[in-house]
Chains A and B, each alone.
Chain A
Amino acid sequence: MSVQRQDWSLHRKGSIDQQRHKEKIREAIKKNLADIVSEENIIMSDGKKQIRVPIRSLDQYRFRFDPGRQTRSGQGNGKSKVGDVIAQDPQQGQGPGKGKGDAGQDPGAEYYEAEVSVDELATLIFEDLSLPNLEEKRQAEMETETIRFTDVRKKGPMGNLDKKRTILENLKRNAAQGDPTFHDIKNDDLRFKVWEPTIRYESNAVVLAMMDVSGSMGEFEKYIARSFYFWMVRFLRTKYTNVKIVFISHHTEAKEVTEDEFFHRGESGGTQVSSAYELALQIIKERYNPADWNIYPFHFSDGDNLPWDNDRCVQLVEELMKLCNIFGYGEIREAHYRSPSTLMSSFSKITNKKFVAVTIGDKREVYPALRKFFSTRGDEVPSAP
C-alpha cells in the first residue's frame, strides 16, 4: 500500500486527442459551410465570440435501442403513480439519462454541437478567396506593418536569441583554445537578432456595399443580404487591414449609413435603384479617385424596381464599371417565384466581363455567392447566370 504523487506536468495525451477531435470538427465544418454560412445564430450573434454550430457527421454511431421508444427506470419520492410526468421537452438535450450535447431523443433531430469562434469560421470560409482584379494604383495609401530582422548584436532579449550564430561563436572560441566542440557557453558567445518595423505598401480598396431596404424587401431577402454582407465585412477585415467600406442603403432615395444602421434598420417605400448608383458615383468622385483606389460596388436587391428606372440603372452600372474593378449584383428571390425580374433582365444586356450577377433563392446559396464574388479570377471572364 502506498500513496504517491508524481509530476504530471508533461502529460498531454488527453489534450492531443482533444486536438484531433477539434480538427475533425474543422473538417466537418468545412464540409457543411453552405449550411453554416447562413446559420441564423451566427449572423445574429452580434459580436458574440463563440458560437455553436450543429455538426451531424461527428456522431458516434452504434447499434443502440431507439431512445424515444425505450422504457427506462427511475425512482420517485415515495408517492409516484402511473401517469405522472417526470420530464418534458427532451429535444433540448435535457432527456433523461443523457448529458447535454449528447444525442437528443428524436431521430433526425440529433446532432453534435461544436463551439467555434466567428473568426475561426471566417478563416475557414475565406481560406482561398481574395479581392478580385487588384491593380497597382498610383498612390499607395494602404500600408501594412511587417517586421524584418536586420542586424545581429551581442545583447538582446532571450526570445530573439540566434541559436545558429551562438553555436558558431561558441565553436569558434573553443576551437581557438584547441577543443573544437560545442560546450561551455559564455555570455560572450550569445548573439541576438535585431528587428526593425518596416512598412509595406499595398494597393487600396474600397467596397461600396449597397442594399435595398424598401418595403418590398421581406424578412427573408433582408436576412440573405445581411448574411452575405456579414461575411463580406468579416472577410475584408481579416484579410486586408486597411480596406475601406462604404455602406449605402436605399429605397427611393439613397443615403450613406453606418455599418450598424446598414444591418439593423429597415425602411419602407418604393424602390428606385438608380438613386444608390448615383450616390455611389458621387462618393467615388468626391473621395475615391479611381487612379488611387480599387473600387468594388456590390448591390443586393429583390429586383423589384420602378420599371422606368431600369434603363437608367443599366446606364449607371456601365458608368460605374469604367471606374471599378468589378460590379456585383445579387438578386434575392425565394425559389417559388423565380421569374426573371425586370432589373435582372435589364442587366442581362450587359456584356462587360466586370459584371457579376447571382440569384439567391435559398439560404444555402449564400456561400456559393460569396465564392463567386471573391474568387481570384484575374482576366477570366465572369459569367452571369
Chain B
Amino acid sequence: MIDKEMEQLEHNIGRAWDLALKMGLDPFPVEFEVVPASIMYEFGSYGLPGRFSHWTRGKAYYRMKMSYDFGLSKIYELVINTNPSYAFLLENNSVLENTFVAAHVFGHTDFFKHNAYFAHTARNMIDRVSASADRIRQYEFEHGRLEVERFLDAVLAIEEHVDYYTHIKPKDEADQPAKPAETEYDDIWKLDREYRQQQAMARRPASRKFPKEPVKDFLLFFAEHAPNLEPWQRDILLIVREEMLYFVPQMQTKIMNEGHASIAHSRIMREMDLSGEDFVNFATLHTGVLSPSRTSLNPYYLGYTIWQDIEKRWDNPTEEERRMGRQPGQGWAKVLEVRETENDVSFLRNYLTEDLVKELDLYLYRKEGDEWVIVEKDWRKVRDGIVASMTNFGYPYLVIDDADYRRNSELYIKHLFEGQEMDLNYAEKTLAYVYQIWGRPVHLETVFDERRVLLSFDGEKNTRQVLDDDDEEEDN
C-alpha cells in the first residue's frame, strides 16, 4: 500500500466513522494497523497479539498461511475487543477492501461495547496476555521448555471447560451493606455472634461430598484443588482460564456479532458516495461474505438476515401486534436493544421465525452410511436443533461431580447428556490429560447408544464399562 493510498484510506475511515455515529452506533474508537499477511495470520491463529507460545498455535498459523499462500482463503479483518479496539488490515488489500473492512469493524466494536455478555471482559487484554506470556516464558527457563509444554498440552485439551457465568453469584452475606451501628459496642457483640456461628458450623455433620455442587469450571477447580501441582502449574491453569473467559462471549455471539457488523458495513458503504466501479466491487465483496453454505451456517448471512427481519417487523407491526401495543417505526431502536441483551442462543430462539427458516431454507442433516442426508425441515425442530448445537458453544457440557470418588481422591466427571453422543476415542485420550493434571484416576460418565457408559483412566490404561441402573440408585 503506497503512501497516497494510506492517505486515501485514512480519509475513508474517518468518513466511515462519522457515518457509523450517524446511523446510531456507539463503537469503541479503533486503532487501525496495516500489516503484511504473515502478521495477520499470526494474530489470527493466536487470537491476540502477544499471546503465549505453543506448538498448536504454530500448527494453526502454518495451516492458515498455507491456505492464504495458495489463494484458498483470506482473512479480511481482525479486530480485538479492547478499549480502544485494535483492528488489523491487510497491506495488499485495495483501499476499497480496507474501507469495507473498517466499516465492518465499527459494527464489531459497537457490539463489544454494548452487548451485555461482553460487560465482564478485560478491555486491556493485550497487556494481560503479554504479561502472562512473559510469566510462561519465565517458567520455561526455570522448569524446562518440555516440562511446560507438556503441561500446556494437557491444559489446552480441556480449555473449553470453564464456567463463563462465574461472575453471576448469589449475593454473599459479606457483600451486604453493614447495618448501621445500634450501639457503640456492636463490634463486641458481633464477635460473639461470629463465634456462635462457627460453633454451629462445626456441630453440623460434614457433608461427605466434595465438591458440594457439581463444578463446571475444570480449570479453576484444578488450580485450587489438584493435589500435586506446583505453583507455576496452577498459574498456567489460571492464565489459560482467563484467556478462555475472554474469548467465550465472542463464541457465544458469533451470529449476532457478524450479522450486526454486516448491517454496519452495508449501510456505511452505501452512503460513502462510491464511484460506480467501487460500488460494484463493494457489492461483490458483500455477496462473497454473505454467501450461504449447504453444509454449515454462515453466521454473517444468518445474522444479517435476522437483524433485517427484526427491523422490518418492528417498523411495520401487524394489526395484531399493534393491538398488543407495538408502535410502528421502532425497528432500529429494537435492533439496538436486542444487540445489548441477547446472545446467539436466545437470539435464535426469539427471532429465528417460521418465515425466516423457510425463506433461508434451513435444514438439519446427519450422516447415514457414507452420505450426509437432510433429516429435518420442520421449522421448530430445525430452530431447536441449531440452538442445541450452540449450547455451551458446541462442546459437551461436563461437570466434576465428585473429586473424592470411592473415597480415593479419584475424579468423577459427568456429561450432562442432551441427546448428542460424545466421541469416545477422543474422550479417552483427553482423560489421560485430565489424569496428568489431577494426578489420580479419572472417570467420565456419559451416554452412548442409549446406555450409560463409564470411561476410566487409571494412569496406565483406559477402561470402558456399561453402567446399569442399580448403580445410579446407589450413587444417589
Which B residues from 284 to 307 make CB contacts under 8 A with A?
A: 292-298, 301-302
Contact residues on B (Cβ < 8 Å of other chain), bracket: 35 or more
Residues of B within 8 Å of A75, CB to CB, are 292-294, 297-298, 301-302, 360-363
Residues of A within 8 Å of B54, CB to CB, are 17
Mostly, the A contact residues are loop
Out of B292, B361, B385, B430, name the residue touching A62 (CB < 8 Å): B430
Residues of A within 8 Å of B65, CB to CB, are 14
Residues of A within 8 Å of B58, CB to CB, are 14-21
Query: Interface size (A, Cβ < 8 Å)?
Result: 59
Q: Is the CB of B382 closer than 8 A to any CB of chain A? A: yes
A74 lies within 8 A of B42 (CB): no
Which of chain A's residues has its CB closest to B390's CB? A73
Out of B158, B296, B371, B424, name the residue touching A72 (CB < 8 Å): B296
Which of chain B's residues has its CB closest to A69's CB? B421
Residues of B within 8 Å of A107, CB to CB, are 423-426
Q: Is the CB of B160 closer than 8 A to any CB of chain A? A: yes
CA–CA, A60 to B149, complex, Å? 13
Given contacts A21-B59, A71-B375, A74-B293, contact A61 B433 (CB under 8 A): yes
B62 lies within 8 A of A65 (CB): no
Residues of A within 8 Å of B365, CB to CB, are 71-74, 86, 96
B372 lies within 8 A of A8 (CB): no
Q: Is the CB of A108 closer than 8 A to any CB of chain B? A: yes
Given contacts A73-B362, A73-B386, contact A60 B41 (CB under 8 A): no
Q: Is the CB of B14 closer than 8 A to any CB of chain A? A: yes
B430 lies within 8 A of A61 (CB): yes
CA–CA, A79 to B91, complex, Å? 41
Which B residues from 36 to 65 make CB contacts under 8 A with A?
A: 36, 38-39, 41-42, 45-46, 53-59, 61-63, 65
Q: Is the CB of B254 closer than 8 A to any CB of chain A? A: no
Q: Is the CB of B463 closer than 8 A to any CB of chain A? A: no
Which B residues from 1 to 46 make CB contacts under 8 A with A?
A: 1, 6, 9-10, 13-14, 17, 29-36, 38-39, 41-42, 45-46
A85 lies within 8 A of B377 (CB): no
CA–CA, A81 to B373, complex, Å? 10
A24 lies within 8 A of B41 (CB): no
A86 lies within 8 A of B294 (CB): yes
Q: Is the CB of B165 closer than 8 A to any CB of chain A? A: no
B59 lies within 8 A of A2 (CB): no
Question: Min CB distance, B65 to chain A, in Å?
Answer: 8
Q: Is the CB of A176 closer than 8 A to any CB of chain B? A: no
A18 lies within 8 A of B61 (CB): yes
Closest 8 CB pairs of A and B: A17-B58, A96-B295, A14-B42, A18-B58, A61-B429, A76-B361, A87-B372, A14-B61
Which A residues lie at the B interface, using CB under 8 A? 1-6, 8, 11, 13-21, 23-24, 59-90, 96-97, 99, 101, 105, 107-108, 110
Could you give 6 example pairs across A and B, Cβ below 8 Å? A62-B395, A63-B396, A63-B398, A64-B396, A65-B395, A74-B296
A sample of 11 more A-B contacts (CB under 8 A), given A5-B91, A86-B295, A86-B372, is: A15-B58, A17-B57, A19-B58, A20-B149, A21-B59, A65-B423, A71-B364, A72-B365, A74-B293, A76-B361, A86-B294
